[in-house]
Amino acid sequence: MLNLKTKGGYRLPTESEWEYACRAGTNTATAFGETITSKDANYDQSNIDKPVPVGSYKPNAFGLYDMHGNVWEWCSDWFANYPEGPLVDPVGPKEGVRRVIRGGSFNYFHVSNIRSSYRGDFNVPSSRTIGIGFRLAKTN
């Protein structure tokens, strides 16, 4: 619907695009350093028990809010173990059963699940749960 109203170009990010956006030029476990606290992201240790409005926490260096925690975010890639291949903008498998989700969620109990490199998977995007959302990428 958004593509029809805006002449297109919006899509789910690839897994590598999502991680690049999340890291925001860092090589640390999170965009905010090696550790993250409930002051930086909405995850289980925040004791909020629900998603919060986007922008409730500080942005990363690229100005993106809530890349860690709050809700998992769908990626366009199918989930599979990383194959040997390019390290720059790798392409996921052409088909699969489960899609990649990234970022962690308010209801995930361990801080390691919200680090920049953590990968999750879930049934196809037609499956719904309060802990999964999406962020769009725009193709020029």
**CATH code of the domain in which 96 resides:** 3.90.1580.10
Split into its structural domains, the chain has a count of 1
**Domain residues for 15?**
1-140
Tell me if 41 sits within 8 A of 57, measured CB to CB. Answer: yes
Q: How far is CA 40 from CA 30, 47, 84, in A?
A: 10, 13, 34
Using the structure block, give the residue that is written with the tokens 């925690």.
69
pLDDT in tens, 62-100: 999 999 999 999 999 999 887 666 667 777 788 888 999
Question: From CA 131, how far away is CA 61, in angstroms rounded?
Answer: 25
Question: From CA 62, how far away is CA 50, in angstroms rounded?
Answer: 25
| Entry pTM | 0.87
